[in-house]
């Protein structure tokens, strides 16, 4: 994470921040702290989300720390993603330019680059960073909407269908994402549009927001 980005995030008033508890079946495997803020200045503005996921309940602690910036129309602009893994540390840098999103993957003595073509609605996701799903939820409407999902750490480009299923029990808004490697992802947002719960049945993953202290 660059010093400049840390300074900018500190100056931005958060739209949302919190902690997500990640479970596989009934076992807690990690916690994710995130901060969503509006970006002011530049030509259009937009939003930035910074997240830190700590998998410290396994033999080797792994920390995932992405910072994703999106434009005012929710299209991905840039990504800085640090993977603190004792076995395979990595830094992932992404930048949008002229209909493509270029990703550089920097490891120990290695560097790879890949260009993902983008057209239409696009989101950046990760298999183990769940706060990023808020930008996918923003795409939902009463009818299914087709969205391109980029998963840079896994090298995937997927086509997803996102649909707003309306308000259910406990006044939570239900969003369903279909397609891709996860098959189905269920999201629930509170009345203020904040992520409240995520379920991925195919992976037996359940993510719940920790109540404020």
List pLDDT tens digits, range 26-74: 999 999 999 999 987 555 679 999 999 999 766 678 999 999 999 988 8
pLDDT of residue 113: 95
pLDDT tens profile 180-197 = 999 999 999 998 889 999
Residue among 92, 148, 152 at smallest CA distance from 123:
148
Tally of domains in the chain: 1
Strand 122-124 and strand 145-151: pairing?
parallel
110: containing domain: 3-209
pLDDT at residue number 208: 97
What whole-number distance in Å separates Cα of residue 205 and Cα of residue 24?
5
**Strand 76-84, strand 90-97: pairing:** antiparallel
Tell me the pLDDT band of 179, cut-offs 50, 70 and 90.
very high
How many residues make up the chain in this entry? 213
Helices marked H in the chain: 3-11, 133-137
pLDDT over 70 (residue 3): no
- 192 forms beta bridges with none
pLDDT 10s digits, 105-126:
999 888 999 999 988 999 999 9
Mean pLDDT throughout 138-144? Answer: 93
Give residue 41's pLDDT: 58
Q: What φ, ψ does residue 92 adopt, rounded to 5°?
A: -120, 125
Burial class (CB in 10 A: 0-12, 13-18, 19+), 42: exposed
Q: Tell me how far apart the alpha carbons of residues 74 and 66 are, in angstroms, rounded to a whole number.
A: 17
Residue 77: what pLDDT? 95
């Amino acid at each position: 994470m660059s010093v400049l980005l840390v300074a900018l995030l500190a100056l931005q008033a958060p739209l949302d921040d919190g902690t997500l508890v990640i479970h596989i079946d009934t076992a807690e495997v990690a916690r994710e702290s995130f901060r969503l803020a509006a970006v002011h200045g530049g030509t259009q503005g937009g939003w930035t989300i910074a997240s830190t996921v700590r998998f410290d309940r396994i033999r080797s602690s792994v920390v995932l720390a992405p910072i994703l910036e999106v434009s005012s129309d929710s299209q991905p602009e840039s990504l800085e993603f640090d993977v603190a893994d004792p076995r395979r540390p990595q830094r992932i840098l992404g930048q949008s330019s002229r209909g493509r999103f270029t990703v550089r993957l920097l490891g120990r003595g290695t560097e790879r680059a890949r260009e993902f073509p983008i057209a239409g609605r696009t989101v950046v996701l990760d298999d183990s960073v769940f706060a990023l799903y808020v930008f996918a939820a923003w795409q939902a409407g009463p009818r299914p909407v087709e969205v391109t999902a980029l998963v840079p750490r896994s090298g995937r480009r997927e086509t997803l269908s996102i649909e707003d299923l309306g308000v259910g029990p406990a006044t939570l808004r239900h969003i369903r994402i279909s397609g891709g490697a996860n098959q189905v992802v269920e999201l629930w947002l509170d009345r203020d549009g904040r992520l409240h719960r995520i379920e991925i049945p195919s992976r037996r993953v359940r993510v719940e927001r920790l109540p404020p202290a």
